[in-house]
Amino acid sequence: MAIPIKNKPLLKSLLDTYGKIGVVGTGFNEIWAKDFYYKLALTKEKNKYLIPDWIPIFEEIYKMIDYAAISPEHPKILMDFDKDADFWDMRLNTGLNSVYRHLIKRIGLLRDGMRVLDLGCGSVSPVEIGRFVGPNGEYVGVDFSPGTLSIAKQKIKDLGLDWVILKEMDIRSIIPKRKYDVVIMSFVLEYIPDIQSVIRKAVQALDENGKLVIVDPFRENYPDIEAWEFFESLTKEFVKFPSKAEIINALEYNGYTFIPREFGKSVLVFELQ
């Protein structure tokens, strides 16, 4: 019996994901459901760490899968960085993302007078992180999306953050000419097929004793991360979430020595020696 889903590649991706996380088993020309049970236990102590404004955003992404089943070009799929820049701005403005930005400030010891390079800056970090280093420092944000940068530029203009500089560029094409105290790559490596080259360029931009801060859901720390990746794949640039091992190997391959530190499940900091 034919399955009434027009977007067959999406269906295949869904079934592949079910297989990876153990929901179904597969054989020659057959698929079967496995016994599947998952219990989410929320104690009062853990409940206080929930960030409610992230939930409706993910619910919207969940609904987009239904539209993607009709067509990958359905107008209600809002995951394009330019066409749907407003949705991305809402997503980047959630409390969860704000927590990461303030953690970056604490880890990087960001303060007035410092120089920061933010690769894949999006529409919110230029304000939230940029304001930490002004008015005597410099924040340079690089992003390939004119849509998200347009939103960021308006915010910067409204707030008068004239030490914040934004550049529209694919971070894979940058050629570092200046040195920075901190280089940030937050939720960007998941869109890069070859992270080795980008990490090398990020390190080349660091001043002596500078810090490289990387934020991403590292594969080793998230069981069944393939389920998350299935939803994120609605963004055509999405590749996969990186592993800590990939990042460390990229640094070692390029001949760098460093002191790595890990904060939680999604933050790595490297201080080069």
Per residue in 42-94, pLDDT (tens digit) is: 677 766 666 678 889 999 999 999 999 999 999 999 999 999 999 999 999 99
The reported pLDDT for the residue numbered 123 is 98
Residues of the chain short of pLDDT 50, as ranges, are 1
Within 8 A by CB and 6+ apart from 49, the residues are none
The reported pLDDT for the residue numbered 258 is 87
Structure confidence by residue, pLDDT tens digits, 236-247: 999 999 999 999
CB contact burial 135-149 (16+ within 10 A = b; e otherwise): eebbbbbbbbbebbb
| Domain at 98-222+235-272: CATH code | 3.40.50.150
The reported pLDDT for the residue numbered 72 is 93
The reported pLDDT for the residue numbered 38 is 66
8 backbone dihedrals φ, ψ, rounded to 5°? -65, -35
The reported pLDDT for the residue numbered 2 is 55
The reported pLDDT for the residue numbered 37 is 67
What span, in angstroms and rounded, lies between the C-alpha atoms of 45 and 244?
A: 29
The reported pLDDT for the residue numbered 79 is 97
